[in-house]
Amino acid sequence: MARLSSISLLGLLYYGNIVAATASSNYTDYLLSSGTVKLGEWQSAYDKASALVETLTTEEKLTIITGGSAGNFTALEMLDSSTNPYTYYYVTTWPAGLAMAMTWNQTGIHDQGQALGSEFRGKGINLAYAPTLQPLGRSAWGGRQGETYGPDSYLNGHMGGQFVKGMADAGVIPSAKHFILNEQETNRQGSTSGGGGMGGPPGSSNSSTTTATTSTLPYNSVADDKTFHETYLAPFYDAVKSGIGGAMCSMNRINGTYACENQVTLGKYLKAELGFPGIVHPDVGGQHNGIESANAGEDFGSSMYWSNSTLGVGLTNGSFTEARLNDMVIRNMMGFYRYSQDASYPAYVSPTADVDVRGDHPAVARARGAESIALLKNTNNALPLKSKRSVSIFGYHAAPRYLGPNTALSVNTGTASTMIGHMTQVGGSAMGSLAYETTPFQVFTNRAASDGFMLRWWLNDSVVTTTSGMSGAGTVLTETTIGVADNSDVCICFLNAWSGEGGDRSELTNADQDNLVNTVADNCNNTIVVINTTGPRLVDQWISHENVTGVLYAGPLGMESGNAIDDVLFGAVNPSGRLIHTIAKNESDYDPGTAISENETIDFTEGNYIDYKYFDKYNITPRYEFGYGLSYTSFAYGTNISIQADTAALQQEYATGQIAIGGKEDLWNIVANVTATVTNTGNITGADVPQLYVTFPDAADQPIRQLRGFQKVSVAPSATETVTFTLRRRDLSYWDVVAQNWAVAKGQYTFYLAASSRDMKASTTLTL
Ligand SMILES: *[C@@H]1O[C@H](CO)[C@@H](O)[C@H](O)[C@H]1NC(C)=O
Ligand SMILES: *[C@@H]1O[C@H](CO)[C@@H](O)[C@H](O)[C@H]1NC(C)=O
Ligand SMILES: *[C@@H]1O[C@H](CO)[C@@H](O)[C@H](O)[C@H]1NC(C)=O
Ligand SMILES: *[C@@H]1O[C@H](CO)[C@@H](O)[C@H](O)[C@H]1NC(C)=O
Ligand SMILES: *[C@@H]1O[C@H](CO)[C@@H](O)[C@H](O)[C@H]1NC(C)=O
Ligand SMILES: *[C@@H]1O[C@H](CO)[C@@H](O)[C@H](O)[C@H]1NC(C)=O
Ligand SMILES: *[C@@H]1O[C@H](CO)[C@@H](O)[C@H](O)[C@H]1NC(C)=O
Ligand SMILES: *[C@@H]1O[C@H](CO)[C@@H](O)[C@H](O)[C@H]1NC(C)=O
Ligand SMILES: *[C@@H]1O[C@H](CO)[C@@H](O)[C@H](O)[C@H]1NC(C)=O
Ligand SMILES: *[C@@H]1O[C@H](CO)[C@@H](O)[C@H](O)[C@H]1NC(C)=O
Ligand SMILES: *[C@@H]1O[C@H](CO)[C@@H](O)[C@H](O)[C@H]1NC(C)=O
Ligand SMILES: *[C@@H]1O[C@H](CO)[C@@H](O)[C@H](O)[C@H]1NC(C)=O
């Protein structure tokens, strides 16, 4: 019934778009058997899968594409996420995607992908719904940014790509999500659903997935072709090139057609243009129809929609083909053979089984967590903390939640914007499955005992200003916020912001928490603020307060969170995280056109101008810009940067390579190298993140400056390190909507060596 009504509704409202989409591309182009894509390292997987498909009956093929076992093929086990094996016991909960991206460490995220992959493998899971590349973060208020690698397509693609390589190295099939233009949670399943559906602690009735009943359709995203390619499709190029064997189509609609039955996005772009060789599978509730989704490019779906009475009938009346059915089956097996899972694979174990796959990963997760933290302010070297006698800590976020550690994480509209307790993870399908959780309260207590300082606490975000207490021998012992701050060498306020899958954010600040910081700072001349957030969190309510001497800013850091805080606050780790989103001075400084929308259609009219590209274009001064972060040491950049370019290659306007895995092959050719130096001018070892931004010629119609290179480099005191940024043809290309190809514009390119998106240190030019 549901299926029939949604087909008729779709037919009534969107018939024109579906016809247009079908007419605009010949879907046989994206079948692997068409030869459109040069398979390279995936060829032998294709050969094995094709041989197996020959042995199957139609019924067996239908079984495989709906998640069953048939013939020689055993159904793949699939599970979320890039944080941990979802709901499993005895696994490592890693820093969430936002935190991992804040490390800007490509080796680090590769190794995380590999370690996490080994945990999936150890549990017998074949395919992981990871990485989460998008939502990119078009909207500052988007609820799911805590999980992803940020709004810059270049950074997002590089971090996501390295994660994919790491997971593939562990022999697990990485599957990237969400494809595509899924930039807000509100109305992703239609207006009455409240989003949700994936949250809840392990074992609760809320941990099962639900499909919402909707009264209106999921929102419809519309982005022009240039924006679509340059901002949203770009990171998927990296993911495909790096080895994803799966892609999850999203719940929203695109140009009026569901993402999971959109032949333009799935067939034409993902499979034919990017050369994706794997399986497209739907997000929960993302599939709505039978023939449409199969013809559009979805390869794995529900038996509710795909059965002999739908696809089988299609085969007999010509609306569906055996060639496409075979293609679907083959795609279901591509990753399995590509990653040699046929050779041997650990047996599947249930979520609660006592199979400990952690190895040394918690220690590595702690190191990456500490490395992700961005130091935003540090007046008179207030940090790291040393020789303290009296320390006070403040805020709900300093100590555990009342229940834990796998606290209720179904985030729906209306959920509080902060967490009452230590926030270490995001909500929804990337939620933590924590075997334990370290908190600031615990590590400070341990340190007070070992280091011999006095520790006081106020574990609440509400300020109590009435002083009442017992008079003792010359002192007043109170239990008010102010009293706890009195006579402290240092006061540390812990703040968080909370959101996740299924719910967007209603505010980027919080009055209770900001009032807490100001009240403490009014009474404590050395106030440090530690923030954990799931997206941009403003600081202007107190950042200029003379007594706020230090600010640490981070994403959700997983099970080793408290220890990671300790590492940075007390100086065992020199902070080297850099922001991956802009922190504005005022909420109104973010593009109002990207506010969470209740409209049926969401127009991406801002084009490529999201996050720092928007602030640059409209000349809005941020509080802390994209790419910003301090260190306990200092760095200086060489003023000479040099560029070696393959001008002959760059004179050729269009990419001409054959389509292979990751698109036209020449898009990946290195066309220029930029070399620069960085010197540690302080007296302790630290890691820096030199960044390369490029200004394109006007003809390319690009944002003012765009990230096109970055390196994370550890530098000893007084040492100088050379960094080389390698530019691929695609890094200097724009999408030519007329030619429908990536093109290199003629004119002058300026390359900036920078410490952040607003801190240019040196530049050089190249004219084509
Ligand atoms: C697509 O093109 C192929 C050959 O290029 C042709 O055999 C097939 O009939 C076409 N299919 C559609 C649906 O137009
Ligand atoms: C199916 O499995 C059997 C037993 O392992 C093997 O001999 C046969 O070659 C397999 N067939 C295909 C098509 O993979
Ligand atoms: C990056 O991560 C690796 C671990 O994969 C680590 O060994 C290295 O020190 C990190 N690099 C920097 C500069 O912090
Ligand atoms: C499931 O979630 C709903 C809505 O958030 C809540 O009312 C209910 O108590 C939850 N049930 C369990 C078992 O956690
Ligand atoms: C969506 O429609 C716009 C025109 O409104 C077009 O530029 C764009 O290419 C279309 N995108 C897709 C994915 O079909
Ligand atoms: C599947 O459907 C076709 C066409 O309707 C029919 O000929 C065939 O017998 C069906 N097969 C099974 C196994 O039900
Ligand atoms: C800061 O406060 C501490 C503790 O109350 C006090 O000892 C110190 O002198 C103050 N420092 C300044 C610069 O006011
Ligand atoms: C800074 O803290 C001290 C207490 O150490 C307090 O006397 C002073 O008023 C505070 N400054 C401001 C601007 O609140
Ligand atoms: C919170 O952020 C701090 C640094 O700002 C970091 O040390 C800590 O591990 C983070 N904690 C959580 C719970 O994410
Ligand atoms: C909703 O649509 C209206 C009319 O097109 C537009 O004025 C408004 O800005 C849109 N709202 C959002 C949040 O995009
Ligand atoms: C860039 O550096 C790589 C690696 O050193 C080298 O192979 C390549 O030739 C260089 N390309 C150019 C254009 O200088
Ligand atoms: C390192 O530099 C800081 C500030 O520049 C200074 O306070 C400190 O004494 C120096 N430490 C050593 C060991 O030289």
Q: What is the DSSP string of 441-463?
A: HHHHHHHHHHH--EEEEE--SS-
> Residue 696: what residue type?
F
CA of 255 to the centre of ligand 5 (A): 6
The preferred substitution site among 61, 62, 308 for testing ligand 6, maximizing ligand atoms within 8 Å of CB, is 308
pLDDT for residue 429: 84
> At 703, phi and psi to the nearest 5?
-55, 160
Report residue 136 CA to chain centroid gap.
Answer: 7
Q: What is the mean pLDDT of residues 173-181?
A: 98
The reported pLDDT for the residue numbered 546 is 98
- Average pLDDT of the residues in 148-175: 98
Instruction: Tell me what the mean pLDDT of segment 123-142 comes to.
Output: 97
State how far Cα 130 lies from the chain centre.
10
Provide mean pLDDT across the span 733-748: 98
Selected residue with higher pLDDT from 236 and 556: 236
Please tell me the predicted confidence (pLDDT) of residue 196: 38
569 CA closest ligand 9 atom index: 7
User: How far away, in angstroms, is 105 Cα from ligand 9 center?
Assistant: 18
Q: Where are the domains of the chain?
A: 361-581, 634-767
Helix (H, G, I), strand (E, B) or coil at 494: strand
Mean pLDDT of 758-766: 98
Read off the pLDDT of residues 294-333 as tens digits, 9 standing for 90 and up. 999 999 999 999 999 999 999 999 999 999 999 999 999 9
User: What pLDDT score does 390 carry?
Assistant: 96
In the three-class reduction of DSSP (H, G, I as helix; E, B as strand; rest coil), residue 101 is classed as helix
Once rounded to an integer, what is the mean pLDDT over residues 707-717? 98
- Model confidence at 685, pLDDT cuts 50, 70, 90, reads very high
Stretch among 227-231, 410-414, 480-484, 497-501 having the lowest mean pLDDT: 410-414
Question: 446 C-alpha vs ligand 7 centroid, how far in Å?
Answer: 25
pLDDT at 16: 30
347 CB-contact burial (10 Å; exposed 0-12 / middle 13-18 / buried 19+): exposed
Extract the tokens encoding 62: 């239908």
**Amino acid sitting at position 49:** A
CA neighbor of 302 nearest in space, from 275, 323, 284? 284
Q: Sorting pLDDT into bands at 50, 70 and 90, what band is 18?
A: very low
Per-residue pLDDT, 466:
53
Answer for the pair 220, 257: CB distance below 8 angstroms, yes or no: no
- Probe target for ligand 1 pocket from 18, 27, 28, with the most ligand atoms within 8 Å of CB: 28
What sign has the CA pseudo-torsion 376, 380, 385, 389?
negative
Arithmetic mean of pLDDT over the chain: 90
3-class DSSP state for residue 430? helix
487 C-beta closer than 6 A to ligand 7: yes
Q: How far is the CA of 423 from the centre of ligand 4 (A)?
A: 20
Taking residues 571-592, what's their average pLDDT? 98
Q: Inform me whether the pLDDT recorded for 757 exceeds 60.
A: yes
Q: Whose CA is closest to atom 10 on ligand 3? A: 108
Helix (H, G, I), strand (E, B) or coil at 161: helix
Other CB atoms within 10 A of residue 651 CB:
10
Question: Average of pLDDT values for 165-182?
Answer: 98
One DSSP character per residue, 581-617 reads: S-B-SSGGGS-GGGS---SSEEE-TTTT--THHHHHH
Q: Which CATH superfamily is domain 361-581 in?
A: Glycoside hydrolase family 3 C-terminal domain (3.40.50.1700)
pLDDT value of position 633? 98
Ligand 8 atom 6: residue of nearest CA:
523
561 pocket-lining for ligand 9 (C-beta < 6 Å) = yes
Distance 668 CA to ligand 11 centre (A): 13
pLDDT at 122: 98
531-549 residue pLDDT tens: 978 899 999 999 999 999 9
pLDDT digits (tens, 9 = 90+) for 454-497: 999 999 998 876 555 455 444 555 678 888 999 999 999 999 88
- String of DSSP letters for 463-479: ------EEE-SS-EEE-
Q: Which of 206, 403, 410 to mutate to test the pocket of ligand 4 (most atoms within 8 A of CB)?
A: 206
- Each residue of 252-269: b (16+ CB within 10 Å) or e? bbbbbbbbbbbbbbbbbb
> Are the beta carbons of 718 and 680 closer than 8 angstroms?
yes
Give, in order, the Cα–Cα distances in Å from 167 to each of 43, 117, 283, 299, 676. 20, 5, 21, 22, 31
The CA distance from 631 to 575, in Å, is 5
Q: Which atom of ligand 11 is nearest to the CA of 644?
A: 14
Average pLDDT over residues 128-150: 96
What residues does ligand 12 touch, defined as CB less than 6 Å away?
381, 683
Q: What pLDDT was estimated at residue 13?
A: 27
pLDDT, residue 713, reads 98
**Could you tell me where the DSSP H helices lie in 462-594?**
481-485, 511-523, 561-569
Q: How far is the CA of 390 from the centre of ligand 10 (A)?
A: 53
Q: Which of 193-207, 224-238, 285-299, 496-510 has the lowest mean pLDDT?
A: 193-207
Token output for 353: 């089984």
Q: Which residues line the pocket of ligand 3, CB cutoff 6 A? A: 105, 107-108, 111, 371, 687, 712-714
Mean pLDDT of 135-163: 97
- Asked if pLDDT for residue 204 goes beyond 70, the answer is no
**Beta bridge partners of residue 722, listed in sequence order:** 677
pLDDT exceeds 50 at position 102: yes
Assess contact for 584 and 623: CB atoms under 8 A: yes
Q: Which two tokens stand for residue 176?
A: 């990237």
Token duo for residue 389: 């006698």
Higher pLDDT, 205 or 576: 576
pLDDT, tens digit, 9 for 90 and up, residues 413-441: 445 677 778 888 777 888 888 899 999 99
Q: Give the mean model confidence (pLDDT) for residues 146-157.
A: 97
Q: Does residue 178 register a pLDDT over 50?
A: yes
Residue-level pLDDT at 198:
31
> Ligand 7 centroid vs 525 CA: distance in angstroms?
6
Nearest to 297 by CA among 634, 102, 34: 34
Task: Report which ligand 12 atom has the smallest distance to the Cα of 683.
Answer: 1
Instruction: Considering the candidates 152, 238, 283, 589, report the single residue annotated as catalytic.
Output: 283
- Residues of the chain with pLDDT > 70, as a percent, come to 90
Separation CA 135–CA 419 (nearest Å): 22
| 476 alpha carbon – ligand 12 mean position (Å) | 37
Q: Confirm or reject: Cβ of 206 under 6 Å from ligand 11.
A: no
The values of phi and psi at residue 144, to 5°, are -110, 20
Q: How far is the CA of 312 from the centre of ligand 6 (A)?
A: 6
CB 384 within 8 A of CB 632: yes
Q: Which ligand is nearest to the CA of 401?
A: 9
Q: Which ligand is nearest to the CA of 269?
A: 5
pLDDT of residue 192: 53
Inform me whether the pLDDT recorded for 212 exceeds 90: no
Query: CB-hemisphere CA count at 13 Å for 621?
Result: 2
Residue 20 has pLDDT above 60, yes or no: no
**pLDDT computed for residue 200 by the predictor:** 27
Q: Is 645 in the pocket of ligand 11 (CB under 6 A)?
A: yes
Residue with the two structure tokens 């709505």: 288
In this structure, the residue with its CA closest to atom 9 of ligand 10 is: 593
Count CB atoms within 10 A of the CB of residue 361.
22
CA 31 to ligand 1 center in whole angstroms:
11
Give the mean pLDDT of 12-35: 55
Burial class of residue 649 (count of CB atoms within 10 Å of its CB; 0-12, 13-18, 19+):
middle
CB 209 within 8 A of CB 198: yes
What is the CA(361)–ligand 3 centre distance, in A?
14
Q: What is the pLDDT of residue 12?
A: 26
28: left (phi over 0), alpha (psi -120 to 50) or beta: alpha
Residues near ligand 6 (Cβ within 6 A): 59, 308, 312-313, 316
* Cβ pair 125, 77 in contact under 8 A: yes
* pLDDT score recorded for residue 4: 25
Pocket test for ligand 9, best of 533, 548, 565, 578 (most atoms within 8 A of CB): 565
Residue-wise over 282-313: b if at least 16 C-beta within 10 A, else e?
A: bbbbbbbbbbbbbbbbbbbbbeebbbeebbee
Residue 612, SS3? helix
Q: How far apart are CA 745 and CA 696, in angstroms?
A: 8
CATH topology of domain 634-767: Immunoglobulin-like (2.60.40)
Q: What's the CA gap between 399 and 494, in Å, rounded?
A: 9
Residue 208 and residue 200: Cα distance in Å, rounded?
8
Instruction: Work out which ligand 12 atom sits closest to the CA atom of 684.
Output: 1
Structural element, H or E, at residue 291: helix 291-296
In this structure, which ligand is nearest to the CA of 226? 5
Question: What residues form DSSP beta bridges with 493?
Answer: 394, 529
Please give the pLDDT value at position 92: 97
Mutate which of 712, 713, 723 for ligand 3 pocket (most atoms within 8 A of beta carbon): 712
Closest C-alpha to ligand 9, atom 9: 561
- Does 233 sit in the ligand 5 pocket, CB within 6 Å? no
- What does the alpha-carbon distance between residue 393 and residue 609 come to, in Å, rounded to a whole number? 40
Atom from ligand 11 closest to the CA of residue 671 = 13
Among 372-386, 395-409, 650-664, the least confident range: 395-409
152 is catalytic: no
Ligand nearest to the CA of 307: 6
740: Cβ below 6 Å to ligand 11?
Answer: no
> In degrees, to the nearest 5, what angle opens at C-alpha 567 toward C-alphas 563 and 571?
160
Residue 412 has pLDDT above 80, yes or no: no
Most confident of 185-194, 240-249, 531-540: 240-249
Distance CA 433, CA 430 (A): 9
Q: Mean pLDDT over residues 716-727, rounded?
A: 98
Tell me the three state secondary structure of residue 111: helix
pTM for this model (two decimals)? 0.91
Binding site membership of 497 for ligand 9 (Cβ less than 6 Å): no
33 CA distance to ligand 1 middle (Å):
13
- Cβ–Cβ under 8 Å, residues 657 and 705: no
DSSP state of 40: G
**Closest-approaching ligand to the CA atom of 72:** 2
User: What was the pLDDT predicted at 17?
Assistant: 34
The reported pLDDT for the residue numbered 422 is 83
DSSP class of residue 590?
A: S
Q: What is the pLDDT of residues 72-86, one digit of tens each?
A: 999 999 999 999 999
d(CA 328, CA 308): 15
Residue 342 has pLDDT above 50, yes or no: yes
| CA trace torsion 566, 569, 574, 577 (10° rounding) | 90
Is 669 near ligand 7, meaning CB less than 6 Å away?
no
